[in-house]
Structure 1
């Protein structure tokens, strides 16, 4: 009997000059080594190595206590950690404020190395595909029921096994009236469990002989597994903002208009730059953790926190004196006064925002992604309680909503610190260090590109919010409702885009181009399904949704009309997000970045201003412009993906891997 691995099943992709001893494995799009890199990777890899090398040179003997077991390092020299020594891993990342409309490429930000959580996910994912291809036995094989009607239906719709979706080569027993629907079959556990090394060995052999295939059922299941926890986390995080808007809506139309203006101003001037700058910690903390110098994870987080706190000072001054600026922009004195008051109170929460962004990267670099979720599970409900307490119980009114937001922003990092202190993650914290005040130059150079790209995209929303203020208080209040609703709905396709990017890059890294193509098709269908789901909710509840925020007939009428445009936008919104995730997965995220900027500033913004003011469509015109821009970017990215040669993407990923090896070797020599 021939070996189950005998004979090729797919055409191989020729890769030459691969580094000896390196694995052809499935890797996350966040790992350097065998995956698509942004064009700026070669230049910024040296920045990462420069930062960590300087920090290691400054390490004392006490600092290196956690490094004694890592004999590959001598404490003074940084050796590159190649992610090709691992397999399939999962590294969710992204912002959770929910105020954007597509994923954002971050050129200049290198990709981190895997952590224990990701290594565990790697093993599970490899084992799933090996079982699907009948290379290793399933956990509970039950063969007796497979010939029944229910068994056939299950195989056709839900089974992830490759064999279940092929035409049978042997005759199946005929069904009779006495054939049981669910025969009594005892599960067997006679197959020995495989060790991780045995799984990796089987995986290596299967990939080398091109025996790994996948099904749309397996990819659908994987994307759901990856995206579901992210959706929960993102919705929890954005619920803090939703709670503030819901509370303010009970106070009056002017207050509802002001909270939107204040929130957008805060996002563009501080929250978004903080998120953009903190993205470099995804690389620095993960590289430090993966290299074995765990104490450097804490130093990198401290350094970024201090940088963000220094950035906070001029922004706080701007917020304090923002009233005349806002009045000049929106042309309404009372709205500007309330928005400026909201911003002044939010100054109290600025340190917490910076600390939480750094803290998230601190725990995520160790694979503790659930730490953020647990923190939000406590912090988000407390934010609703604080809104009720400050606004209604204590009678602070509009300022109380801002106070509740500020308290929550400071509470989240405190809860995260308590989690690290009481449960896990403290291994990377050696206390506060003066080293955090040095070596800032390379870190700033690494962080700036991410901030610029995010800021460029999100600025469009601030421009449209300011434009909405020109239409009056009621349209600006309606804009607040629409932004909140659409941002909440975006927290479904955005995590799906992250999951898609990860999975596709995993498969591309393993040279499984056919499997990556199947994942892309599943993701596009899923994006359309999510978009249609959101569209249905918007159309069906077009009068009920605004009533949740503000029981004012004028605001409800405006929202009920404009939300029909937003409903159509949901399809393009989801497609744009997932398409960009696919582009990131195959290493062509620069295409998505240029498409985003073109669509927002050349298409969306001019059309929005023209239809909103010249055609007097007002708020509907602004959202029509955004919809047109998203239609263009989703169309461009989808067409690019359709024309993409996936085998070439595999070869390009391997070429970038070899370039990374050469550059990293030059740095450490």
Structure 2
């Protein structure tokens, strides 16, 4: 009996050890699958974000007004358009990802064409915002000088708007199939071209803002053309079968899902961009606007890492749900959450360690650099929070929860966070730091709510809904 008693716990221990080793192995395998998608997606996102960021950096070397003009146009006017286009294009993450997981490959090309029709129409509707941007910016409190300069730059950037309309559906189409390497190569080549031409036209030749606009437009259209050539030449392994009249069918339902996606992502994307607008209402706004713009620039680069994981987890969740594998979808969410938080902690440490140095990379003004250093602690906190929050949004897109998350964003961001920021910034006179601190509270609340929702989700039910969604969006018609 003694021998049996002594062996019992040992067997249990060995069983638990084997189970733990199996879990570690499974975690590692899922990490490899995520990084295979997230690595190139992060690189692509950083390259594409760096187009605007480099333009902003070169403009800052020309002068404070040029920096403010590019910053406000990038953050407010182009930022609004970017949010709308990215959001509406994100409907394809749900549909293409789940269709690919279900083996309905030919549907992907039809979905992309439907998204082109919707986004190009939306781009035409957004053109008046570019044309009338000076009075719009003045309504939101920007000075006449900054509004007029940003408005002139916005007019020159209208071609970029239509590049967005084509680019985001193409990206979602390729991401759903895991074809992320080709996007990374195209973006890298364009970034090198962009850096050289920016230096040449903005600084060397001295064209200033017109030169910045020319280079930025050319770069975005080169990305679109490069990706289209890849799709048309390779046929994307059967996902592209040429232009089809099916692109104009079921548009109403497609618009409805696209609008839900746009609302969800726009409410997130615009939230911190509002900081630049509100800062324009502070006394002597040029310095705080420039300082916050630099911080948003850094935050934007960091957010590209989270955006890469956003794309990866969206593909993983949608593919697994589309193939009916609920357990794999749930485990993928756990793996990506742990990974992104670790990266967020590292990035937070980097911001804090370099807060006295990085502002000088973006401005020659000592006043702007000093104000940026003051805001670095808030930037570090935001970087940490933004490591997890976009990933959870990617889970929502992959599962098709866009409408639910849109309501959460309205409550957390615009009913809680934004009023708190205005109260701290103006009523309690904490300035830019107060505005940002209040808005961080909204991000915290939204992250907590998304964690709770993800934790209680019935993934088997989500897999069944994915199967129903694939049938609903014209599977049989597309196959014909």
Normalised by the size of structure 1, how large is the TM-score?
0.60
SS at match of 1:250: helix
Among residues 53, 76, 84, which one is paired with 1:242 in the alignment? 53
Among residues 614, 629, 642, which one is paired with 2:427 in the alignment? 614
Flag the structure with larger Rg.
Answer: 1
- Over residues 208-227 of structure 1, what are the superposed CA-to-partner deviations in whole Å (9 max), with x where a residue is unaligned? xxx99955444444443442
1:302 is displaced (CA, Å) by 4.3
1:494 aligns with 2:303: no
Alignment partner, residue 353 of structure 2? 540
1:256 is displaced (CA, Å) by 1.3
Alignment partner, residue 130 of structure 2? 319
1:336 aligns with 2:147: yes
Alignment partner, residue 510 of structure 1? 325
Structure 2 CA distance for partners of 1:556 and 1:406, relative to 1, 3 Å: same
Alignment partner, residue 8 of structure 2? none
Alignment partner, residue 375 of structure 1? 186
Please, which runs of 5 or more residues in structure 2 have no aligned partner? 1-15
For 1:521-560, list aligned pairs within 5 A. Answer: 522-560=335-373
1:233 aligns with 2:48: no
1:405 aligns with 2:220: no
- C-alpha separation in 2, matches of 1:443 and 1:604: 31
Structure that is richer in helix per residue: 2
- Over residues 534-570 of structure 1, what are the superposed CA-to-partner deviations in whole Å (9 max), with x where a residue is unaligned? 2111111112111111121100111000111111222
Please, which runs of 5 or more residues in structure 1 have no aligned partner? 1-160, 167-210
SS at match of 1:368: coil
CA contact (8 A) 1:271 1:353 kept: yes
CA contact (8 A) 1:611 1:618 kept: yes
Among residues 166, 170, 173, which one is paired with 1:355 in the alignment? 166
1:598 aligns with 2:407: no
- C-alpha separation in 1, matches of 2:473 and 2:269: 34
Structure 2 CA distance for partners of 1:402 and 1:663, relative to 1, 3 Å: closer
1:271 aligns with 2:82: yes
1:355 is displaced (CA, Å) by 2.2
1:284 is displaced (CA, Å) by 6.2
CA contact (8 A) 2:325 2:463 kept: no
For 1:190-205, list aligned pairs within 5 A. Answer: none
1:530 is displaced (CA, Å) by 1.8
Alignment partner, residue 271 of structure 2? 460
SS at match of 2:66: helix
1:488 is displaced (CA, Å) by 0.8
1:249 is displaced (CA, Å) by 0.9
1:478 aligns with 2:291: yes
1:483 is displaced (CA, Å) by 0.8
CA RMSD after TM alignment:
3.7
Matched length: 457
Bigger mean CA offset, 419-428 vs 611-620? 419-428
Alignment partner, residue 419 of structure 1? 230
1:496 is displaced (CA, Å) by 2.9
1:602 is displaced (CA, Å) by 1.9
1:397 is displaced (CA, Å) by 0.7
- Over residues 388-423 of structure 1, what are the superposed CA-to-partner deviations in whole Å (9 max), with x where a residue is unaligned? 122123321122112211111222112223333555
Among residues 302, 305, 308, which one is paired with 2:119 in the alignment? 308
- C-alpha separation in 2, matches of 1:621 and 1:276: 29
- C-alpha separation in 1, matches of 2:169 and 2:475: 30
SS at match of 2:429: coil
SS at match of 1:492: helix
- Over residues 457-494 of structure 1, what are the superposed CA-to-partner deviations in whole Å (9 max), with x where a residue is unaligned? 33333432211112211111112101110111112233
Normalised by the size of structure 2, how large is the TM-score?
0.81
- C-alpha separation in 2, matches of 1:314 and 1:634: 32
- Over residues 400-450 of structure 1, what are the superposed CA-to-partner deviations in whole Å (9 max), with x where a residue is unaligned? 112211111222112223333555539666666677567644433342222
Structure 2 CA distance for partners of 1:308 and 1:650, relative to 1, 3 Å: closer
SS at match of 2:62: coil
1:653 aligns with 2:458: no
CA contact (8 A) 1:350 1:409 kept: no
